[in-house]
Structure 1
Amino acid sequence: MKIDLHTHAKLSKASDFSPAYYEEMIQEALANGLDALALTEHFNTRNFYEVYEQLDRMFPYNGEYYEANGLKIFPGMEVDIQETGHILLIGQKEHILETRHQLDNYTEKGSFISFDALMDLAESLPLLKIGAHPFRETTPLHHLDRNQLLRLDAFDLNAKDMYQYGSDINHERVRHFAKDLGKPVTAGSDTHQCLQYGSVYNELNMPCETATDLKAAILQEAYQLHVSDSLPLKVKASVMLKKLMKKIVRLEAASSVSSI
């Protein structure tokens, strides 16, 4: 099973969820050979709960993942922590939503939950906990205490960082960092739109029908990482398209206001 463990459903935190937009993303994920993905939308994105409400209307949910035209979508979210950094949490929908409700008072910058408090929440449920882009300059994780980092299940080899800092350099830094902690490395495109799918992914040695199966496969390192030769082109095109789309959205919003 080929799975991308770091993906988004929206163009940006400020945008609304669009079923049509996400349908296009799903088709592109399938076209890039993916069998599954983890939807790790930002926990403080605009109208977070609406994302899952819309997905419930779009696709059947079998208690473990959404069945989206042949693509498995495992629920998740990306959480900011007080110390600076992002944590990916992946699991059953009810567990993700339960954890998100506990974060209602921690959504604003300056009031993010502490790493330890977030781990206490996540460890009370069977969630997969991945340290996102540990060497990203704006939101690193490598500065955390070793005993804190050991509470995570894996670390994210992130397509955006591989493009920005150099594929080989970033790969080696994350690999050595995770190895020193005795943790696996997982691949995530970090895509906010369709062009970045397939830049990196994990190929599991077995099909995973539950979030528990998925976590076990990661902890057992029963998978291989794949990095596309087209990663620089995919991410560059994605970055350029995202900027253009956000500009169009801003212009349309300004035009709408001026016409009132």
Structure 2
Amino acid sequence: MKIDFHTHVKLAKRVDFDIKFFNEVILNAQESGLNALAMTEHFNTKNFYEIYEQLDQHYPYVDDYYNVNGFKVFTGMEIDVKEVGHILCIGNKTKLLTIRRLLDGHTDKDNFVLFEELLQLGELHNLLLIGGHPLRPSTPLHHHDPSLLRRLDAFDLNGKDMHEHGIDRMRKDVKAFAEIIGLPVVYGSDSHHPIHIGAVQNTFEGEFNTVAELKKAIAERNYTSYISPVLHTKINAAKIVKKKMKEALTI
């Protein structure tokens, strides 16, 4: 199974979910060689619940993923914590939505959930917890207590960060940080546009249907990760198109 662990299915937080845009994301993911992704939309995006309402109308939900014509979309969300940082939470849809409802009063910067409280929720519901872009200057994770960071399942080597700060530098720095904490590293494109999908991928032997299976394979480090040789081209193109689309929305 080839999967991207950090993807967005909306152009931006302020826009509504569009099933046609979603289908373009999946099509581009398939064309890039992926057969699965983790949908980690921002938990405080506009009309968050509408994403699931629309997907429920179009695609069956099996185990921990939407079956989009044979392509697996594992359910998740990207959550801000009060002390600064983003955590990718991936798991069963019912459990995710339960946690999201508990966070209804924590969607603004002044009221974000505490990191330890989010860890407790994730552990209670057996979520896959990934520290998103842990060395990004604006939302790092390196300042957190190592004992809390060790409760994560992995860190995210982020496609956008590799594009901005250099592939070799980010790969070296994130892996070094992960070694200090004692966590594996998985790759996530952090895509907000279909063109961006496929910039990175993780390959597991066999097919997984549940997040528990993914957690186990990551813990055992039974996977390989890949960076596209055209990562910069894909992300540059996505940024240009995304900017034009966002400008059109303001007209």
Q: Same fold (TM over 0.5)?
A: yes
Q: CA deviation at 1:63?
A: 3.0
Q: CA deviation at 1:206?
A: 2.3
Structure 2 residue aligned with 1:8: 8
DSSP-derived class of the 1:110 partner:
helix
Structure 1 residue aligned with 2:90: 90
DSSP-derived class of the 2:107 partner:
coil
Stretch deviating more after TM superposition (142-151 or 77-86): 142-151
Q: Distance in 2 between matches of 1:25 and 1:88?
A: 19
Q: Distance in 2 between matches of 1:142 and 1:244?
A: 34
Structure 2 residue aligned with 1:165: 165
DSSP-derived class of the 2:240 partner:
helix
DSSP-derived class of the 2:109 partner:
coil
Pair 1:81 & 2:97 matched? no
Q: Distance in 2 between matches of 1:7 and 1:148?
A: 24
Structure 2: gaps (5+ residues): none
Structure 1, residues 137-181: CA drift from partner, whole Å, max 9, x if none? 111111111111111110000000000000100011110111111
Kindly report which structure 2 residues correspond to 1:16-165, keeping only aligned pairs within 5 A, or say none: 16-165=16-165
Structure 1 residue aligned with 2:191: 191
Q: Distance in 2 between matches of 1:7 and 1:69?
A: 19
Q: CA deviation at 1:108?
A: 0.6
Q: Distance in 1 between matches of 2:16 and 2:221?
A: 36
Query: What is the alpha-carbon root mean square deviation over aligned residues?
Result: 0.8
Q: CA deviation at 1:222?
A: 0.7
Stretch deviating more after TM superposition (159-168 or 209-218): 209-218
Structure 1, residues 49-103: CA drift from partner, whole Å, max 9, x if none? 1101111111111132111022100000000000111000001101111111111
Q: CA deviation at 1:32?
A: 0.6
DSSP-derived class of the 1:50 partner:
helix
Structure 2 residue aligned with 1:257: none
Q: CA deviation at 1:5?
A: 0.4
Structure 1, residues 193-230: CA drift from partner, whole Å, max 9, x if none? 10111110100122112111111111111100100110
Q: Distance in 2 between matches of 1:14 and 1:200?
A: 26
Structure 1: gaps (5+ residues): 252-260
Q: Distance in 2 between matches of 1:28 and 1:242?
A: 15
Stretch deviating more after TM superposition (71-80 or 19-28): 19-28
DSSP-derived class of the 1:26 partner:
helix
Q: CA deviation at 1:16?
A: 0.2
DSSP-derived class of the 1:40 partner:
strand
Contact kept? 2:63, 2:209, Cα under 8 Å: no
Structure 2 counterpart of 1:198, one-letter code: G
Contact kept? 1:63, 1:93, Cα under 8 Å: no
Structure 2 counterpart of 1:30, one-letter code: Q
Structure 1 counterpart of 2:104, one-letter code: D
Contact kept? 2:8, 2:41, Cα under 8 Å: yes
Query: How many residues were matched structurally?
Result: 251
Structure 2 counterpart of 1:227, one-letter code: I
Contact kept? 1:189, 1:197, Cα under 8 Å: yes
Q: Distance in 1 between matches of 2:179 and 2:196?
A: 27
Q: Percent identity?
A: 48
